Structure 1
Amino acid sequence: MRYKILLIEQDGSSLRVLKRVIGKANLDVVVATSLTEAKIIFDQSTPESFLCAVVDYYLPDAEHGEAIDFAISSFVPVIVITSQTDQDVRERILSKAVVDYIPKSNAQIFDYLSRLLTRLDKNKNVGVLVVGGNTKNRNEISTLLGRHNFLTYQANSTENALSTLQKHAHIKLMICDQNIPASTGVDLVAQVRRRYDKEQLSIIGASDKNEAALLASFIKSGANDYLRKPYCHEEFFCRVLQNVEYVEQIELIKKTANMDYLTGIGNRRHFFAQVGDIMGRKPDSMSLALIDLDHFKSINDTYGHDFGDLVLKETAKLMKKHFQSACISRFGGEEFCVFMHGVSQQDAFQKLDDFRQAVSERTFKRKSQRVQCTLSVGLAHTSNAKLETLLGQADELLYQAKANGRNQVVT
């Protein structure tokens, strides 16, 4: 679903720039230059179609933030922009249930707004667990997180927290109060860290005690960060976003390191790590296939490397479809590898032959160019061989498939 942003802004120059920023975030912009126009737009739309509203604090018919109240009452998250930097205006804005406010005098306003809009969309799939404290405190934190579209969960004990983390893999952050029945926040952090490292889950410790020793205890037990209560709205969100983005950045680095840049499937390094882990558990049966696209060099030479890249990417897509429960990898060039475990030799052969046939029947298209391609497969099967042995056997069988005329699976 492509979301819309309701932009309520009356200044022409700001309006032009803001429309470009929102457009770059791949979001549609609906513009109102007054509160009256905004109300008409809402009468003709459903609030669910809006990701949020970006609202100027001052408008000709809403001089004191009335447009903010209207958007909030319409159940739309609100980001406030303002040229007024007075402390009383800031406090008035932050007393409302807004996502954030951005002073127009800030030179980084547009970069920050773009990042914030992207986050509001991303956060719909990010879980945050709030643990400990009293029910009122947990509800207040969950309400704040809800403004940023996070999926929130609550736990009032160590057992509930551990159970919730196990059930919901999309939880990227845990906010843990020091006060937990029959335990402490510091003890819970230590327990969680035995199961989840900092690359999987960020943890923010929280307490109303102004003790440096408690802060140190949280950090030493494995927390990433610490919040002293009471905290201000802006500090809370800065720490939350920073810690969520830390986990996401690590995930991105790992994904980039393990992925083949062209096809989007695993690379050779990731394949060896993944398969080595599976073989270490000693499965009953293992099948490894080396797959090579036939006469691929002639495709590059005749149609160009761009077309060759297209063939590789489309072949990888077909592999994802045919081998959903297997380990697949691009080994380099036009060579791919598939590893299956717990599958009989006959079933492995049939899966690979179905894939071979699907590729041979596929027409690869680019502009006016049309090409059909075949592939050859060497399939090795075992119950106890080492990975290096399987690879060697599959390589010999692939050579036989080529020598026997290509477009076949040899096992």
Structure 2
Amino acid sequence: MPHNVLIIEDSLSSMKMMRDLLIKAKLNPICAQNLTEAKYVFSSSSPESFLCAIVDYDLPDAPRGQAIDFTLRSFLPTIVVARHLDDDIREVILKKDIIDYITKENEQVYEYLSRLLSRLEKNKKVGVLVVDALRARRTAMVGLLRRHNFITFESADAEHALATMQKFSIIKLLIVDDEGLPRVSGIELLSLLRREYKKEDLAFIGMTLLKKLGLSARYIKSGANDFLLKPYCHEEFFSRVMQHVEYMENIELIRRAADSDFLTGLPNRRYFFEKVETHQKHKPQRQALAILDIDHFKAINDTYGHDCGDYSLKEIAKLVAFHFADFTAARFGGEEFCVYFANQDPSHAHQALEQFRTALATKVFKFEKNTFHCTVSIGLTHQTQNGISGMIRLADKHLYQAKNNGRNQIATDS
């Protein structure tokens, strides 16, 4: 079910533009032209069914932002739109717990609104850790972040921050106020984090007092993504946060494209080796590796054509992704796939592979007017003496045993 967005706007042209924008974003606009109508529309709804509200500051029955107060009292994250925004109105708006405001000066503001709405949904999966010795400052910053739907964490010192980072992999951004941190400074915390996390994997924003400009330079030289001077404007705060979260997301998209097989969308061979090497650095107690090869795949291409072969590989890749979601799986090339298991009992790895083999053997493939089945032969090894290369050679050896013994089976270490 799409998220609802409440629009309170008396200009029909502006409302139409916002409605079209929301529908394009696969959101469900609920429209009202004044505060009275909005109260009636909202009376039969729950805040949980709404992503946010978009509210005009100046309405016929709410000329001084009263509609904003209504949506905030109704626990709706609120974006304010205004025809004109002088300094006095801007100050009034920013004193309220709103997400942001935009002015209806030109059509470009609606592009910003679209980006803002997209972020509200994406931010639900982004963790932000605020590190500050003073609870009041942490609470204020966390309040700002929660307006934008970020998942927030708090630490009063560097030691707790490091422990929190180890516990919650969802954290993508740290905001650290160096002032008053006990024992380990913000710069020292940054140095410790950069041993494990790159700038494109974990953003770090330091905070410094205006009179300590030298500290901001030290932050940047030590690997911080950015810094803020205190006291800061919350608009600047959000702009900096959004900039770095979006930067990391863009880097992730580029990585995903480089790490993915173009046909199936599964991880590719290069990514597979990088991921396995990362696992092996932690010295897992048990390891297993399997090579999966589709039986008689050439016959599918020869009989039904290469388009059917591509269709088959895509469908098989979906099964691979489903059955091995908790492990490291990749398309190695052609009709061959590889799965790596870390810290799994031999029986668990074998069971997961057997479930996949059975699911594939019973799946009916339908391409155009053709119906057919596929099976898979699997070579599995738990021997790790010669590293990943040795495991691949052994699994490949077992794969040929499975083929020679009649296909559609698993061959493993004796």
- Paired residues for 1:182-261 under 5 Å: 182-183=182-183, 184-261=185-262
Q: What's the counterpart of residue 154 of structure 1?
A: 154
Q: CA separation of 1:80/1:344 partners in 2, compared to 1, >3 Å: closer, same or farther?
A: closer
Shift of 1:257: 2.2
Q: CA separation of 1:208/1:18 partners in 2, compared to 1, >3 Å: closer, same or farther?
A: same
**Residue type of the alignment partner of 2:371:** R
Distance of 2:375 and 2:330 partners within structure 1 = 18
Shift of 1:134: 2.4
- Paired residues for 1:7-406 under 5 Å: 7-183=7-183, 184-278=185-279, 286-300=287-301, 302-303=303-304, 305-340=306-341, 348-349=349-350, 351-365=352-366, 369-406=370-407
- Indicate if the aligned counterparts of 2:312 and 2:365 stay in contact, CA closer than 8 A: yes
- Indicate if the aligned counterparts of 2:384 and 2:391 stay in contact, CA closer than 8 A: no
**Residue type of the alignment partner of 2:225:** N
**Residue type of the alignment partner of 1:201:** L
Q: Structure 1 vs Structure 2: percent identity of aligned residues?
A: 50
SS of structure 2 residue aligned to 1:64: coil
Large movers: runs of 4+ above 6 Å: 344-347
Distance of 2:344 and 2:207 partners within structure 1 = 50
SS of structure 2 residue aligned to 1:370: strand
Distance of 1:46 and 1:285 partners within structure 2 = 49
- Indicate if the aligned counterparts of 2:133 and 2:182 stay in contact, CA closer than 8 A: no
Q: CA separation of 1:346/1:47 partners in 2, compared to 1, >3 Å: closer, same or farther?
A: closer
Higher mean displacement: 385-394 or 201-210? 385-394
SS of structure 2 residue aligned to 1:149: coil
SS of structure 1 residue aligned to 2:253: helix
Q: CA separation of 1:408/1:78 partners in 2, compared to 1, >3 Å: closer, same or farther?
A: same
SS of structure 1 residue aligned to 2:10: coil
Q: Give the alignment's TM-score, normalised by structure 1.
A: 0.90
SS of structure 1 residue aligned to 2:52: strand
Distance of 1:30 and 1:114 partners within structure 2 = 16
Higher mean displacement: 287-296 or 97-106? 287-296
Shift of 1:12: 1.9
- Indicate if the aligned counterparts of 2:289 and 2:392 stay in contact, CA closer than 8 A: yes
Shift of 1:78: 0.7
Q: CA separation of 1:62/1:191 partners in 2, compared to 1, >3 Å: closer, same or farther?
A: same
Distance of 2:190 and 2:15 partners within structure 1 = 46
Which runs of 5 or more residues in structure 1 are unaligned? none
**Residue type of the alignment partner of 1:171:** I
- Indicate if the aligned counterparts of 2:210 and 2:231 stay in contact, CA closer than 8 A: no
**Residue type of the alignment partner of 1:70:** F
Which runs of 5 or more residues in structure 2 are unaligned? none
**Residue type of the alignment partner of 2:198:** D
Distance of 2:285 and 2:74 partners within structure 1 = 59
Q: Give the alignment's TM-score, normalised by structure 2.
A: 0.89
Q: CA separation of 1:289/1:175 partners in 2, compared to 1, >3 Å: closer, same or farther?
A: closer
SS of structure 2 residue aligned to 1:180: coil
Q: CA separation of 1:238/1:408 partners in 2, compared to 1, >3 Å: closer, same or farther?
A: same
Shift of 1:135: 2.1
- Indicate if the aligned counterparts of 1:79 and 1:99 stay in contact, CA closer than 8 A: yes
Higher mean displacement: 256-265 or 163-172? 256-265
Distance of 1:282 and 1:239 partners within structure 2 = 38
- Indicate if the aligned counterparts of 2:364 and 2:371 stay in contact, CA closer than 8 A: yes
Shift of 1:236: 1.0
Higher mean displacement: 277-286 or 200-209? 277-286
- Indicate if the aligned counterparts of 1:322 and 1:351 stay in contact, CA closer than 8 A: yes
Distance of 1:140 and 1:67 partners within structure 2 = 24
- Indicate if the aligned counterparts of 1:158 and 1:180 stay in contact, CA closer than 8 A: no
Q: CA separation of 1:99/1:404 partners in 2, compared to 1, >3 Å: closer, same or farther?
A: same
- Indicate if the aligned counterparts of 1:284 and 1:383 stay in contact, CA closer than 8 A: no
Q: CA separation of 1:302/1:82 partners in 2, compared to 1, >3 Å: closer, same or farther?
A: farther
Shift of 1:298: 4.1
Distance of 2:386 and 2:118 partners within structure 1 = 48
Distance of 1:75 and 1:291 partners within structure 2 = 52
Shift of 1:404: 4.9
Q: CA separation of 1:314/1:62 partners in 2, compared to 1, >3 Å: closer, same or farther?
A: same
- Indicate if the aligned counterparts of 1:97 and 1:147 stay in contact, CA closer than 8 A: yes
Higher mean displacement: 214-223 or 346-355? 346-355
Deviation sequence 1:162-192 (CA, Å, 0-9, x none)? 2222222111111111213434333333333
Distance of 1:5 and 1:73 partners within structure 2 = 16
SS of structure 2 residue aligned to 1:179: coil
Deviation sequence 1:208-258 (CA, Å, 0-9, x none)? 333321211221222211111121121111011112222222333333322
Deviation sequence 1:107-144 (CA, Å, 0-9, x none)? 42122111111111111221211112522222111111
Distance of 1:376 and 1:292 partners within structure 2 = 5
Distance of 2:316 and 2:16 partners within structure 1 = 43
Deviation sequence 1:384-405 (CA, Å, 0-9, x none)? 1343344344445444544554
